[in-house]
Amino acid sequence: MALTNEIIQQRLTEKFGDQLTEWAMPYGMLTFTAAASLNLKVMQFLFDDEQLRFRFLTDLTGVHYPDRKGEELSVVYHLHNMQDNVRLRMKIYVPVAKPDVFTATKLYAGANWMERETFDFYGINFVGHPNLIRILNVDEMDYFPMRKEYTLEDPQRTDKDDEMFGR
């Protein structure tokens, strides 16, 4: 029997019940939200279950939602079952004040660099990561550039004349 989004959702609901929310299928990809404390348990289940077999982490990234109070930062995981060629998306949300998420490096070795990049740009702390240091930005950087916390233009610039830009 072919693995379908309905079967995956049913298996996850049987295991985790109402702890998984926001079920959707944009562009045919099953998408759901889990609590940050459950990220490893859900991924371990998806990896180990002989019917599901999501054993490849395609992508992991962060997103900043400044308007979601208490859930400003999100980690998005894209998992792939290569035997049945099925993909899914799992989202978790954490507050910007305490952006702690358990690392997936023990389960997916490829998560190592993706988590470092997500830390570097969004400041999400992957608890248990073997080497969580900046990967693309300079070490002296004291902010996270992909957060929507900064003005788009530097107000201190002197090389721009507002009259030239119609302001």
Q: What is the 3-state secondary structure (H, E, C) of 56-81?
A: EEEEEEEEECCCCCCCCEEEEEEEEE
For the entire predicted model, the pTM comes to: 0.88
User: Class assignment of domain 5-151?
Assistant: alpha beta
User: What is the pLDDT at residue 26?
Assistant: 96
User: What is the pLDDT at residue 141?
Assistant: 87
User: What is the pLDDT at residue 117?
Assistant: 97
The CA–CA distances, whole Å, from 71 to 26, 65, 74, 152 equal: 21, 7, 7, 23
**Can you list the residues of the chain whose pLDDT is less than 50?**
none
User: What is the pLDDT at residue 148?
Assistant: 86
- Locate the domains of the chain by residue range: 5-151
User: What is the pLDDT at residue 156?
Assistant: 73
